[in-house]
Chains A and B, each alone.
Chain A
Amino acid sequence: AQSVTQLGSHVSVSEGALVLLRCNYSSSVPPYLFWYVQYPNQGLQLLLKYTSAATLVKGINGFEAEFKKSETSFHLTKPSAHMSDAAEYFCAVSDLTQGGSEKLVFGKGTKLTVNP
């Protein structure tokens, strides 16, 4: 079974500072990886996804992530944090079940706080 590990359950940055949220995957085959954001009392919104086309993936709201096979990582970055980026961020991997269906397996999440 595939899994992802998010390092750091809480990350705090100042407005305008670099945002770096860490995600490592465990997979023996090239995985499909996703980053989702969840604002309070809302559903999840896709930020970006890696499907093996390009290792540097650009997403919405200025976020990007780089797939590094040698490090089994898919870290999420944004050059300059904005107050509106404060939210919970989930890394996820697509996992094939025994029945042949795909399902998303989420990391535990990282709560991003942006200080003025």
Chain B
Amino acid sequence: DTEVTQTPKHLVMGMTNKKSLKCEQHMGHRAMYWYKQKAKKPPELMFVYSYEKLSINESVPSRFSPECPNSSLLNLHLHALQPEDSALYLCASSQTNGGTDTQYFGPGTRLTVL
């Protein structure tokens, strides 16, 4: 099973709301990633967790707060977002954070900020 699941599929939120995106994998992978993808653009890395520890934060604004409660779960907490944060948020996982490891992507959460 090479599946990464993400919930919800779609999310509409106001600028004052607090919401969370959830990502789950059961492949025994120890690295998990959050990407942001704007329309007609490539994915941009936001965060990397390796063995449940944050290893990369690509200077993401603090209104995005990642959390890795265990090796199978990855959350992205959202607070006071801006309309320009509207995008497809992709989660991925890989065996480890090694250079040759394949990243498996979830279907994404389409976020709209009003």
Contact = CB atoms under 8 A, between A and B. Distances in A.
Nearest to B40: A109
Contacts of A106: 42-43
A103 B55 CA distance: 10
Nearest to B44: A106
Interface of B: 4, 40-43, 45, 48, 50, 55-56, 90, 92, 97-108, 110
Contacts of B103: 44, 46, 104
Interface residues of A, number: 24
A49 B102 CA distance: 8
A28 interface: no
Chain A binding surface SS class: strand
Given A102-B98, A102-B99, A45 B43 contact: no
Given A108-B42, A109-B42, A101 B97 contact: yes
Contact of B48 (A45, A46, A96, A101): A101
Chain B binding surface SS class: loop
Nearest to A45: B105
A106 B43 CA distance: 7
A102 B42 contact: no
Contacts of B104: 46
Given A32-B100, A46-B102, A107-B42, 20 more contacts: A32-B99, A41-B107, A42-B108, A43-B90, A43-B105, A43-B108, A45-B105, A46-B104, A49-B102, A90-B43, A96-B99, A99-B56, A101-B50, A102-B97, A102-B99, A103-B48, A103-B56, A104-B43, A104-B103, A106-B42
